Structure 1
Amino acid sequence: MYRVLFVELNRHSGEKTPYELDWKDLGFALDACARGSADAMSLLAEQPYSLIVIDMFGAHDEGMELCGKLRSKSGIPIILIGGSNDFQLARKAMSYQVSDYLPNPLSADDLRTSLLTVKRALVSVPSANYKMPALSVSERDSSSVANVIDKVKEYVEEALHQNITLKQISHILHFNCSYLGQKFKIHENMTFLEYLLQQRMEKAKHLLEHTDMKIYEIAGEVGYTEMDWFYKKFKSYTGVSANEYRKRISITA
């Protein structure tokens, strides 16, 4: 059973979701509740915990400050709840390598999924209170962003023949969809949808050039079930139809 310290930064939060979960069934014990940052740091100095859940509703600055204090001492998993959907706030939270950032309104299912993800990490790393390497905020943030974006791109490559949405990927990676979309655009200089279209069209071009597959087969291979939609997207991307593209390639070969 993993011991959890719940930190309530604003006594007027009114967030009841954490108390409605069956923590024991998830493998956790909601062992203590701290009222504010000072109380949290005091409790941590007295005994070890495996996870810290911070309700930062109405206390965003204090929540970020507490994350900084915690990260200066250990790599204990942190789940932030009650934050806003503000991109800069979420980005700053991720720079502290929090396990998850769950903005309002908090969903019981999202919190449960987040806890199970942390549990899997704790099982693979027996001690949660290891010392964090001394990285600057910018270094941590850059590393975290690159790692997450790489995972998004890997997923797209593997599932290109399927229906793909950023919301679906966000759920798998346990990220806020809006935050992940903005982070992807900053890192790749294009939106996720623009990147997805690029990957679909480039693979379609490759298949047209190097295989004898029928065009409807190629459309299915790159995730299109409606041929008219595939034809429209391909012509918009390349300037010519799929049939014309293949003819031009065969002439120049």
Structure 2
Amino acid sequence: MREQIKILVVEDEDLTRNGVVKALLNYFGSEIIVDTAENGIEALDKFEEKEINLLITDIKMPEMDGISLLEILNQSNKECMTIVLTGHAEFEYAQKSIAYGVFDYILKPVNPKVLYESVQKAITKFSELKKMKTNLKLVEQHAGTLHPIHTSKNRIIQYITEYVMENLDKQLTLKEISELVHMNPNYLSGLFKAETGELFSEFILKIRLYKAKELLAQTDMKIYEVAEAVGYQTSRYFNRIFQEHEQKTPNEFRKLFRNN
């Protein structure tokens, strides 16, 4: 069962507030949970009490207006989609809310069909953002929290790192890289170790696996295509290396993202 979307309707006019709530429940039913507030101060209390996924707020209200409400929510890093209700006369003023990431505007009197379409789009966008954040957390958890690209100030190491990132589909041996920068392989190996704290071969392996996990998580490429893209000539060898270091096969890693 899909998680219910929690909506807060902030409107000082009883008729408009009740009409919006009724329209939402008629269209979305049990897919949503709707709460209400009559002004910005009451709305802030609601945000402290519970999680809000979608805020639908009027602009002109007593005690605290919609712009002030959005400003405070923005400063406190409250994450939710926002739809603003506004009249023709106050639309120019309402546009100030653009700075606070408002998703959409609905002119009053509220047309139920327009409300439904706007809320449906906001819910879809919210779900996409939530999915994206979940995937990013999984990437950090399963691909490592530190990006494998080194930030050495040594220009040779910087050049090698950039070259490796752009040529992961190649073999990338120490001998080849040494010839590229006109250095003795043994000297370059020592320099790389001193600058990065790891062997060149360890760096290549780490960056291949990191890129592979990105492709598995973010694309629908076949396993053999991912293997080739990160420099493995056979998917069988790629599978073995991946499982050896990640304790799961590439397919298992991908399913972890699909299931979340």
Q: Flag whether TM exceeds 0.5 (same fold).
A: no
Higher relative contact order (CA 8 A, sep 6+): 1
Higher relative helix content = 2
Higher CA-based Rg: 2
Q: How would you bin the TM-score normalised by the shorter chain? A: 0.3 to 0.5
